[in-house]
Amino acid sequence: MGVAQNNSGMEDGTLEIGMEYRTVSGVAGPLVILDKVKGPKYQEIVNICLGDRTTRRGQVLEVDGEKVVVQVFEGTSGIDNKFTTVQFTGEVLKTPVSMDMLGRIFNGSGKPIDNGPPILPEAYLDISGQKIPLFSAAGLPHNEIAAQICRQAGLVKRLEKTVNLLEEGEEDNFAIVFAAMGVNMETAQFFKHDFEENGSMERVTLFLNLANDPTIERIITPRIALTTAEYMAYECGKHVLVILTDMSSYADALREVSAAREEVPGRRGYPGFTANQCASIPIPIDEECYRRGTTRRDHSDVSNQLYANYAIGKDVQAMKAVVGEEALSSEDLLYLEFLDKFEKKFVAQGAYDTRNIFQSLDLAWTLLRIFPRELLHHIPAKTLDAFYVECPTPVVIDKWQLGYLFGIEPAS
């Protein structure tokens, strides 16, 4: 039958832990097909021993009676149907997690690749996870944006004691989990060098799946990263930011597996379930709970006013090119002044210029004070009373204004 049995036989039709099979019937890309397997489980982890005694890991991808399709994480090169044995472990994919992972570099499967000591796991967790997506648009320098987020990310803290969002010492309780999928060696070196140079490496856990690593490994890399982040957040009480780059490599890995299974392709050759797989790395249901207390109540009003004034400023700039600056009204000149300062001071934030949301809002008010109060149509009177002054003196906000802006009950 081609089965090597390490433990007692099966009487109830379930898979005995430790059963080894030599029933490989085919290899297709990253997939291995086995026959005459009794009682396999979906997503079960298997150990594959080759003829040269090297061991690889795989996961049950499909079960059809006694026929099993296994996806191999380390590639299928060297696997044959004569000497290769497959052992079913009875376990799903788990990853070891520990706070010692901060400052370390791992491959896409979660194994250390920084020549450091092995991680002593505090727990083994099922691969799962959640994310809050931050998508980079086409044509933007994705790697530089991701590295800049790691440099400048941190917890929001106000100077006023009455609205301090953090407990004392909590500003250091922040970690970043960064997972790069399908990147070349140059990009991997860029990330490592940037994190080490700016001193953020000590709070970063870095997972690197290189372009020459097995493609199938990219399917589990984001889930390992998210599981690690959830452990740090829920078990260790840290504030964790997760960055995944880039998810197109994840989708390409799904396409390769789908092609090996000879499934009918969807749009651009991707399998029809690509969207479902990406959605299985879910977004938290109550995203609003992550935003509470992280900004001010004037945020949306200031944003609307900035967009409106910028749009008018662009129209005035176009009109100036036709009729000249002498033909513009004094109000038009205010919009031109705003346009110039908005682009040079507000939008042109340098890659190494750290500025939190409150500093950005204060800068926005500085620009809006170029205009008289009656021209700020998108900001309610209460907000203008709290922030707008016609002279460039510091804004003094009393406890009742703070209560309105931040939803805090003022002390009597």
CA–CA gap between residue 203 and residue 94 (Å, rounded): 23
In the 8-state DSSP scheme, what is residue 328? S
Same domain? 112 vs 210: yes
Name the domain count of the chain. Answer: 3
Asked if 306 and 350 sit in the same domain, the reply is yes
User: Could you tell me the CATH number of the domain that includes residue 256?
Assistant: 3.40.50.12240
8-state DSSP, 228:
H
At a CB cut-off of 8 Å and minimum separation 6, what does 257 contact?
29, 30, 31, 61, 71, 216, 219, 271
Residue 244 CA to residue 250 CA, distance in Å, equals: 10
Please tell me what DSSP assigns to residue 393. Answer: S
Last residue of one domain, picked from the residues 92, 111, 126: 92
Decide: helix, strand or coil at residue 87: strand
Same domain, yes or no, for 106 and 249?
A: yes
Residues in the chain predicted with pLDDT less than 70, given as ranges, are: 1-18, 127-172, 261-294, 351-352, 390-412
d(CA 155, CA 379): 28
State both tokens at 263.
């499934």
Tell whether 310 and 175 lie within a shared domain.
Answer: no
- Domain of 330: which CATH number? 1.10.1140
Q: pLDDT tens for residues 379-400?
A: 999 889 888 875 444 444 454 4
Q: Quote the CA–CA distance of 188 and 251 in Å, as a whole number.
A: 20
Q: How far apart are CA 141 and CA 155, in angstroms?
A: 25
Task: Print the domain residue range for 43.
Answer: 3-92
Is the pTM higher than 0.75?
A: no
Dist. CA 38–CA 167, nearest whole Å: 56
Question: Does residue 41 form part of some domain?
Answer: yes
* Local structure of 188: helix, strand or coil: helix
Q: Would you state the pLDDT for residue 370?
A: 92
pLDDT at 273: 55
Residue that is last in its domain, among 272, 291, 310: 291
Give a yes or no: residue 412 inside a domain: no
pLDDT of residue 268: 62
Q: Considering the domain boundaries, does residue 182 fall inside one?
A: yes
